[in-house]
Amino acid sequence: MNSKALKIGLTTVALVLAFGGLLWSTLRDGTEYYKHVEEVMGQPDAWYGKRLQLHGYVVPASILRRKDSLDYRFQVHSKGHVVPATYTGIVPDTFKDEAEVVLKGTLTKDGFHVEPNGVMAKCPSKYEPKPGGAKPRPSV
């Protein structure tokens, strides 16, 4: 092998290793899984301590707020599985019973602990067509 090919090969290997190491060190702590409640609660031991974005629906009448604080306790369900959750902070206006939510946080033996600003909720009624609104046109 000639000297020029060896230099190109070594440079390529060094760049690939450097890029791989940088990518690994950057993503190692920032990895977050997007999972549904039934996926996580089907095998909770596999998810303890990992950062998650958890998707589900707020269980009706489960939202409890401590008086004079921003501490919330509630439950989230999906397809027959339920997980208790805790959160401290301001919740969105759309956070209510049966709201579809995505929570950012960590699963522990006590339940799902939501990180600050980790509650995202949407109100399904905002996205459904209004009665008597536009109707689909018949196909030709």
Domain positions in the chain are 33-126
- 113 in Cβ contact with 97 (< 8 Å): no
Q: Indicate if the pLDDT at residue 55 is higher than 70.
A: yes
Q: Which residue in this structure is represented by tokens 């190692």?
A: 28
Q: How many helices (H) and strands (E) does the chain have?
A: 2, 7
Q: Which residue stretches of the chain are H helix? A: 3-27, 37-42
> Which pTM does this prediction carry?
0.70
Q: Going by CATH, does the domain composed of 33-126 fall within 3.40.30.10?
A: no
Determine the straight-line distance between the first and last CA of the chain, rounded to whole angstroms.
69
- What count of other Cβ atoms lies within 10 Å of the Cβ of residue 27? 9
Residue 55 in tokens: 């998707």
pLDDT (0 to 100) of residue 136: 61
Model pLDDT for residues 61-71, shown as the tens digit of each residue: 999 998 889 99
Least confident of 15-19, 123-127, 129-133: 123-127
- What count of other Cβ atoms lies within 10 Å of the Cβ of residue 71? 13
Model pLDDT for residues 82-114, shown as the tens digit of each residue: 999 999 999 999 999 999 999 999 999 999 999
